[in-house]
Amino acid sequence: MLVFAAPGQGAQTPGFLAPWLELPGVADLLASWSDLAECDLMKYGTVGTADEIRDTAIAQPLLVAAALAAASVLAMGPAFSGGNDRGEASSVDRAEHARHADGRQGGIAAGHSVGELAAGVIAGVLAPPDALRLVGVRGRAMADAAAARQTSMTAVLGGEEAVVLRSIEAHGLTPANSNGAGQIVAAGTAEQLAAFAADPPAGARLRPLQVAGAFHTAHMAPAVDALRAEAAALDVRDPVLTLLSNRDGAPVRTGADWLERICSQVSAPVRWDSCMSTMGSLGATAFLELPPAGTLVGLARRAMPGVQLLAVRTPDDLDAAKALLAEHDVHSDSHAPEWRLLVAPLAGTFRAAAAPGRPGVAVRSGAELGRVEMRGGSHQVTAGFPATIIEWLVEDGDPVSPGQPLVRLEPARSATQEGQ
């Protein structure tokens, strides 16, 4: 059984999104998702400094977008297996989801902390646009909560678990992440962490983390209400993959339960150790970590011996990922989309190209189809792959909003294969 894993905050590095933007359709996805998350994903994912992308309000949307962009390229999960470039499910996807909803398919989805949102999309619970809206709210709300008082986190490496936990409790700290493989993350105020550093548990090494707050502790309680308010309007469905929860490592059976756990989890500890234990008990044989990959594979290497591991760091790893999907009977090519939408990257006025092309006309990769004009500039709308125009959904001069469909395209077969 194959595990799809999405990493959490701290996995991001400067420029990690740059190579992904070279793939067909990815730049368009990130442009529309930037508006939904209220974060310039392409800017921060390519030229953002280490300090800039450490900001919780930036890091969290970046992480979810990166994982979902790779999932889209691999056509992983119902949201990407037959929908469109907005990551919305088509009527075919919904029928397929309903057909599998009563039983779980042969895969496990799990995410560490904010990675749970990407895992939820892959498991079919949430549509990508809703995940990007929700992660934008999550990141900003947690950043606001962290600003109320100086808090942080420290990784505790090694030592006897019971001794480490007693020491964390004695200093008034919270074991915010139990990551397995001899790693527990303590979180609390700056004063508490300083006292902890001066009196570490026997046999353990402490490594302060470069994070902006004490995540997954009571210090994040104000963010829970903000998330619940945003989540109230979301449409969720029951998972079609086995979807694990950070709360206790248990499989989540309904979309409603998953969404409530997502909201409350920001102020509750992450039990990634329990997630890995459940993976083992369910018979996991392979573990694929989505970008920016490496952290969770490192934990799995120590905690899940004998499991095949793959970290998808750059597009160079896609062939290995496709082979792993095929080996575990997850065939992305059988779900290649028959058509795709190009969407408005920003709000403004749509202006058609001088020769925009009529339905039935073939366009090359990179062809300009129009532009969205807004105060102070404009943004080109280009085909990221060779295709045939099926229909225009807007006219020259129409006002458009972020993510609004502009034109429906039928990809050439080679472009469809590239996007798998």
What is the crossing angle of helices 255-264 and 115-122, to 10°?
A: 170
Q: Active-site residue 113, yes or no?
A: yes
Spatial separation of the C-alpha atoms in residues 159 and 10, rounded to whole Å: 23
pLDDT of residue 97: 45
pLDDT of residue 419: 36
Q: How far apart are the first and last CA of the chain?
A: 21
The one-digit pLDDT tens for each residue of the chain (420 residues) are 999 999 999 899 999 999 999 998 899 999 999 999 999 999 999 999 999 999 999 999 999 999 999 999 998 766 665 443 334 433 334 434 444 443 345 699 999 999 999 999 999 999 999 999 999 999 999 999 999 999 999 999 999 999 999 999 999 999 999 999 899 999 999 999 999 999 999 999 999 987 889 999 999 999 999 999 999 999 899 999 999 999 999 999 899 999 999 999 999 999 999 999 999 988 899 999 999 999 999 999 999 999 999 999 999 999 999 999 988 875 433 333 456 777 777 778 999 988 767 888 898 877 889 988 987 778 888 887 788 998 898 999 999 876 677 888 887 764 433 333
Spatial separation of the C-alpha atoms in residues 388 and 394, rounded to whole Å: 17
Final residue belonging to a domain, choices 184, 208, 232 = 208
- Domain membership of residue 302 (yes or no) is yes
Q: Do 246 and 301 share a domain, yes or no?
A: yes
Q: Which of 32, 81, 113, 274 is catalytic?
A: 113
Q: Do 370 and 262 share a domain, yes or no?
A: no
- Domain membership of residue 298 (yes or no) is yes
Residues 6+ apart with CB under 8 A from 159: 182, 201, 202, 203, 204
pLDDT of residue 105: 52
Residues 6+ apart with CB under 8 A from 336: 75, 416, 417, 419, 420
Pairing between strand 2-6 and 405-411?
Answer: unpaired
- Domain membership of residue 261 (yes or no) is yes
Q: Half-sphere exposure of residue 342, counting CA atoms within 13 Å on the CB side?
A: 32
pLDDT of residue 378: 80
pLDDT of residue 95: 38
Q: Do 324 and 270 share a domain, yes or no?
A: yes
Spatial separation of the C-alpha atoms in residues 162 and 387, rounded to whole Å: 60
- Domain membership of residue 39 (yes or no) is yes
Q: Do 256 and 185 share a domain, yes or no?
A: no
Q: Do 17 and 112 share a domain, yes or no?
A: yes
Say how many domains are in the chain: 3
Q: What's the CATH code of the domain at 260? A: 3.40.366.10
Identify the residue whose tokens are 């575990």.
328
What domain range includes position 62?
2-144+218-335
Amino acid, single-letter form, for residue 229: A
pLDDT of residue 81: 58
Q: Do 112 and 62 share a domain, yes or no?
A: yes
Q: Which candidate, 271, 267, 277, 221, places its Cα nearest to that of 245?
A: 271
Tokens of 154: 């420290």
Asked whether 246 and 77 are in contact (CB, 8 A), the reply is: no
Residue 29 DSSP code = H
Q: What's the CATH code of the domain at 172? A: 3.30.70.250
- Domain membership of residue 373 (yes or no) is yes
Q: Which candidate, 389, 299, 306, 309, places its Cα nearest to that of 353?
A: 389
Q: Do 129 and 31 share a domain, yes or no?
A: yes
Burial level of 316, CB count in 10 A (0-12/13-18/19+)? exposed
- Domain membership of residue 344 (yes or no) is yes
Q: Do 118 and 51 share a domain, yes or no?
A: yes
Q: Which of 216, 219, 332, 335 is catalytic?
A: 216
Q: What's the CATH code of the domain at 409? A: 2.40.50.100
pLDDT of residue 295: 94
Q: Do 184 and 64 share a domain, yes or no?
A: no
- Domain membership of residue 213 (yes or no) is no
- Domain membership of residue 124 (yes or no) is yes
Final residue belonging to a domain, choices 335, 366, 391 = 335
Q: Do 242 and 309 share a domain, yes or no?
A: yes
Sign of CA dihedral 73, 76, 82, 87: negative
Residues 6+ apart with CB under 8 A from 370: 350, 351, 352, 353, 356, 380, 381, 396, 406
Q: Active-site residue 331, yes or no?
A: no
Spatial separation of the C-alpha atoms in residues 118 and 63, rounded to whole Å: 9
Q: Do 47 and 185 share a domain, yes or no?
A: no
Q: Do 178 and 29 share a domain, yes or no?
A: no
Final residue belonging to a domain, choices 292, 308, 335 = 335
Spatial separation of the C-alpha atoms in residues 293 and 42, rounded to whole Å: 18
